[in-house]
Amino acid sequence: MHRALLLAAPLLLSPALAAAHPHIFVSTGVEVIFDDQGRATALRISWTYDEMFSLMMVQENGLDPDGDNHLTEAELASLNGADMEWDPEFPGDTYALLGDAPLALSRPRDWTMAYDGASLTSTHVRDFDAPVTVAEVPLVVQSYDPGYYTAYTIDAEPVVTGRDTCTAGIWEPDRSKADAMLDAALKEYDGTDVESGGFPAGAAYADEVRVTCAAPS
């Protein structure tokens, strides 16, 4: 769940089934950026918000008053970075691992915002704390909201930039296993600890990008 003024409404969660029901739908793209030594150094993430949420964002910010589904440069500039105003503890709904080992990611930088008349799309870059050597052990990028208020779907072809000996693919979750985890979690859920990740639905339903690379010759 984004921690931004534009997305303040989602913070008002009800401690019941609504907590496990997504209210915002985001199509996600992942680009893995490599340096000239063949090491992964950053991720560029794109978020395309669903049309209903995009319309709400435009209207609640007093933009497009003539309703022609076109934003001026100034109007678009006023939205740029609005979904990057994260609370310090917010992990950004993007998680990276090398195999099973978590990798730390920086705060977002170099963000953009675009509007196609129906949906808003933002992008941002997040750096690894240190360059990552990727070979047979996959670099895994997951996109999910631990509270499952926002549903992320990785549906754009993953991009690898700066290295041509890598393959990247999208892995979908095991839906039956995720449903079982969600059912078990809801039976025990007491309305607390959603934000700290105590409610596991988001991770269980997470799409993943997995990147492997040929060993250096």
State whether the Cα torsion 12-142-54-42 is positive or negative.
Answer: positive
C-alpha dist (Å) from residue 147 to 7, 17, 37, 103, 179? 14, 11, 38, 21, 15
pTM of the model as a whole: 0.84
pLDDT at residue 19 tops 60: no
pLDDT at residue 186 tops 80: no
Domain-wise residue ranges, the chain = 5-213
CB 29 within 8 A of CB 156: yes
Cβ neighbours of residue 80 under 8 Å, at least 6 residues apart? 111, 112, 113, 122
With H, G, I as helix, E, B as strand and everything else as coil, classify residue 135. coil
Instruction: Kindly report, residue by residue over 91-146, the tens digit of the pLDDT.
Output: 999 999 999 999 999 999 999 999 999 999 999 999 999 999 999 999 999 999 88
Instruction: Tell me which DSSP letter residue 6 carries.
Output: G
Radius of gyration of the chain (CA): 18
On average, the pLDDT of the chain sits at 85
How sure is the predictor about 2, in pLDDT bands with cuts at 50, 70 and 90? low
Instruction: Kindly report, residue by residue over 22-59, the tens digit of the pLDDT.
Output: 889 999 999 999 999 999 999 999 999 999 999 999 99
